[in-house]
Amino acid sequence: TQSTWGGGSGTPTKAKHHSAATTKVVGGDKDQVCITRAEVEQAFAFFDVSNSGVLKPRDLKTRLSAFYPHMTNKEYRFLISEPNFTVDTLWSLLENSTITNFDPVAEAFRVYDPAKTGYVDTEELKAIMGRMGYGEMTPDDVEVLIKTADVDGDGRISLEDFRNMLNFNK
């Protein structure tokens, strides 16, 4: 077994590791992302709020509602339609994926830029942080976040700033 973070409790849990540590490549030629089995297990554990080893639509809703507050229960059921959705199920989906031209960073960025301006919407950022339980952000809080992520110094967070911020944390 391998120690991972799970259940949202902030405590390490053990995740079954059924295959050797391998890497999957997701995405098209331009924006490929390599992901390891350990990273998939860590992501799965984050979504497995009940720490049962099986994801349910309600688990996704618990974790994703801060980012997608208008997503319906039907949409969550569509994402997790298999009754026994385990980490192995997720790994298999990645293994058999035929997704091309997919940029996961750009997809994540879209949550913060719903108007598609090319920059993080500060009101959306404040709303997401509030829904995540961080409370109301002051203008000073927003300024600190922007200055931290604004790599090119233009006073806004672009997709490239966002991408650089994520790469910086690796």
The pLDDT of residue 22:
66
Tell me the CA end-to-end span of the chain in Å, nearest whole number: 24
* SS3 (DSSP) at 9: coil
How do the pLDDT tens digits run along the chain, 170 residues long?
333 333 333 333 333 433 444 665 655 444 556 788 898 999 999 999 999 999 999 999 999 998 999 999 999 999 898 899 999 999 888 877 766 667 778 888 999 999 999 999 999 999 999 988 888 999 999 999 999 999 999 999 999 999 888 776 55
Q: What is the pLDDT of residue 17?
A: 39
Q: What is the pLDDT of residue 49?
A: 92
Global pTM exceeds 0.85: no
Distance CA 46, CA 8 (A): 6
Q: What is residue 96's predicted lDDT score, i.e. its pLDDT?
A: 73
pLDDT at res. 81: 86
What is the spatial distance between Cα 71 and Cα 64, in angstroms, rounded to a whole number?
A: 9
For 31-99, what is the HEC assignment?
A: CCEEEEHHHHHHHHHHHCCCCCCCECHHHHHHHHCCCCCCCCHHHHHHHCCCCCECHHHHHHHHHCCCC
The per-residue pLDDT for 12 is 34
pLDDT of residue 2: 33
